[in-house]
Amino acid sequence: EVQLLESGGDLVQPGGSLRLSCAASGFTFSSYAMSWVRQAPGKGLEWVSAISGNGGTTYYADSVRGRITISRDNSRNTLYVQMNNVRAEDTAVYYCAKIPRWGYGMDVWGQGTTVTVSS
């Protein structure tokens, strides 16, 4: 079964750091680009970042560029996002998603992990 499982969400203070993980199973992880998407409380979906299958190409939303770094470890079938200098507006449920082909939607999603930024 194709599955994505996020972890690492927590309560973090403004200005702090956090790393989220997404464990993949059921497919050849290194063959697919991956993405992070978030949903703030009461808001819609917001794309955060994406990375190619070999990790050589990364994309970021303007709202997080310079504060968030996406990466992957294909030997561990795991996707990461390092969040630095977090702000209250980073509070959200963070989903990881599989990209079958650039631009052709995101066909597998995890259940999400919750990040709360508050003092």
Residue 10: both structure tokens together: 């927590």
Site for another protein in 38-57 (CB under 8 A): 44-47, 50
d(CA 94, CA 50): 13
DSSP string for 23-83:
EEESS-GGGSEEEEEEE-TTS-EEEEEEE-TTS--EEE-TTTBTTEEEEEETTTTEEEEEE
Is 35 a residue that touches another protein (CB under 8 A)?
Answer: yes
Residue from 56, 6, 8 nearest 30 by CA: 56
Among 110, 113, 115, 117, binds another protein (CB under 8 A): 110
Task: Out of 68, 79, 81, 95, name the contact with another protein by CB under 8 A.
Answer: 95
- Of 4-23, which residues contact another protein (CB under 8 A)? 4
Instruction: CB nearer to another protein: give 16 or 112.
Output: 112
Comparison of 44 and 66: residue with beta carbon closer to another protein: 44
103 binds another protein (CB under 8 A): yes
Q: Does 1 bind another protein (CB under 8 A)?
A: no
Report how far apart, in Å, the C-alpha atoms of 116 and of each of 14, 16, 39, 55, 94 are. Answer: 10, 11, 12, 28, 11
* Minimum CB distance to another protein smaller for 50 or for 92: 50
Pair of tokens at residue 71: 């990466």
Per CB under 8 A, residues contacting another protein are 4, 35, 37, 44-47, 50, 59-62, 95, 97, 102-107, 109-112
